[in-house]
Amino acid sequence: MNLPEISITDFDYVLPEERIAKYPLEQRDHSKLLINNKGKLTQDHFYNLPSYLPSDSIMFFNNTKVVPARLIFRKPTGAFIEIFCLEPVDPAEYNISFAQTKSCVWKCIIGNAKRWKSGLIPIYIADDDPTENPHNELKNEIKQLNFRAELVSKFDNTFYVRFHWDMDLPFSQVLETVGRIPIPPYLNRETEAIDYDRYQTTYAERRGSVAAPTAGLHFTPKVLEELKKKGIDEEKLCLHVGAGTFLPVKNKFIAQHIMHSEPFSVTLEVLERIYNKPEHTKIISVGTTSTRSLESLYYLGIQCIKESVEKWEPQCVSQWAPYQGDDTYSTKEAIGALISYMKFHNLQSYMFRTQIIIVPSYKYRIVDILITNFHQPQSTLLLLVSAFLGKDNRWENMYQYALDNDFRFLSYGDSCLLIP
């Protein structure tokens, strides 16, 4: 396997603090739009996006929904413990876990973990809470819940936590009552009322993310309607964004970086849509999460071809699968294998996992056009953008243009349209 010899310092740039958008604009679709069309850079507003896209295209959205995954607890000693829910463990399926009453287990990150060795701790919501608490008006309901957390086990830097509560409510409603929307740490502020609406896409449907697919935050019903009028079809898949999306690359060389894995689901209908699309039809991906999901399908298809639809047990797409030189199959062959697998097992949808990392030298198999935001320096998302643009259309030019023209950066920032 030939791992890419890439130094993460080659993907650095100076991002002034004042250029990070701390809050969303009043109107979603009034963000600025940078258009990178084969290296030519221009700008407009997001509400004019449809005019820059080819008709008879298919646009893919990630319809995951951010859950209020931050929970603040207080031990009887007075120590505050923050629990950040990552993904369900028992039961492991998201919808089943969210439907649980009385108890469930989640994989979590724990802040101030050294102060919590064992035992049950109750949730604590009060005026002297060290964070801005949006739930002060729910104190009575929270008291009735008697919500507690129990430390089950530890795995490296994560923990298994069992939650208990007394009222006959599903866990999803419990989180809505006591949890907080986990806005990105680089905003350097606490969750506020505006985040419960605006750190969520207008088309969010399936609960499970702890971070928003931020490229989708700009879309409004009006923009979606204009896309439809243009003849651009809409398809949805779902990747639940994990906390790993905020993890910095700490190694000098990207080959030493361990990418996080995330679950994503796709329907048989979507697979058939990709398989049967005319050659001239472009696939437009909204965001890096949709891109990672779509591109992972190719490597899942290769797995299936090698094992056969009868025997294959889907494995997580490994981080370096695209760089093993095992890509002799066509995209149509790979997608066709997944369709055969779904039909053989009578499945209408399936949840896979992917750890794929997309860096320069990666060959895109499915995505033709990308809509995304502006990403952090030295991030894997910036590597993905660089790989998409190609060596003759350098990301540095685009980012310098954005800095020179007062674009807003990161999750609540402006958007860019990439046509390689």
Q: Which pLDDT score, from 0 to 100, does residue 159 have?
A: 92
Which residue, among 99, 81, 109, has the nearest Cα to 175 in the 3D structure? 99
Q: Calculate what percentage of the chain has a pLDDT beyond 70.
A: 95
Q: Which pLDDT score, from 0 to 100, does residue 394 have?
A: 92
C-alpha to C-alpha distance for 18 and 20, rounded to whole angstroms: 5
Q: Enter the tokens of residue 219.
A: 């879309």
Block residue for tokens 């025997």? 311
C-alpha to C-alpha distance for 99 and 91, rounded to whole angstroms: 10
Q: Which pLDDT score, from 0 to 100, does residue 411 have?
A: 96
Question: Please, what is the average pLDDT of the chain?
Answer: 91
In 63-146, where do the E strands start and end?
64-66, 70-74, 80-90, 103-111, 120-122
The CATH number fitting domain 8-65+200-419, selected from 3.40.1780.10, 3.40.50.1480, 3.40.50.150, 3.30.1440.10: 3.40.1780.10
Q: Which pLDDT score, from 0 to 100, does residue 123 have?
A: 67
Block residue for tokens 């997309």? 358
Mean pLDDT (whole number) for 408-417? 98
Supply φ then ψ for residue 349, to 5 degrees.
-155, 160
Q: How many CB atoms lie within 10 A of CB 184?
A: 18
Block residue for tokens 């990630």? 62
Q: Which pLDDT score, from 0 to 100, does residue 137 have?
A: 54
DSSP-derived 3-state class of residue 399: helix
Q: Which pLDDT score, from 0 to 100, does residue 138 have?
A: 57
Q: Calculate what percentage of the chain has a pLDDT beyond 90.
A: 75
Reported as a pLDDT band with limits 50, 70 and 90, residue 326 is confident
Q: What is the pLDDT of residues 224-280, one digit of tens each?
A: 999 999 999 999 999 999 877 767 788 899 999 999 889 999 999 999 999 999 999
Question: 200 or 126: whose pLDDT is higher?
Answer: 200
Q: Choose from 77-81, 147-151, 278-282, 325-329 the range with maximum mean pLDDT.
A: 278-282
Which residue, among 283, 366, 279, 297, has the nearest Cα to 334 in the 3D structure? 297
DSSP-derived 3-state class of residue 75: coil
Which residue, among 38, 9, 35, has the nearest Cα to 392 in the 3D structure? 38
244-263 burial by CB neighbour count: b if 16+ within 10 A, else e? Answer: bbbeebeeeebbebebbbbb
Of the listed ranges 51-60, 102-111, 244-253, 387-396, the one predicted with least confidence: 244-253
Q: What is the pLDDT of residues 300-321, one digit of tens each?
A: 999 999 999 999 999 999 999 9
Reported as a pLDDT band with limits 50, 70 and 90, residue 124 is low
Q: Where are the domains of the chain?
A: 8-65+200-419, 69-180
Q: How many CB atoms lie within 10 A of CB 38?
A: 11
**What residue type is assigned to position 244 of the chain?**
G
Which residue, among 62, 54, 27, 15, has the nearest Cα to 245 in the 3D structure? 62
Q: What is the pLDDT of residues 146-177, one digit of tens each?
A: 888 998 988 878 899 999 998 889 999 999 88
Contact yes or no for 148/163 (Cβ under 8 A)? yes
Reported as a pLDDT band with limits 50, 70 and 90, residue 327 is confident
Reported as a pLDDT band with limits 50, 70 and 90, residue 97 is very high
**What residue type is assigned to position 225 of the chain?**
E
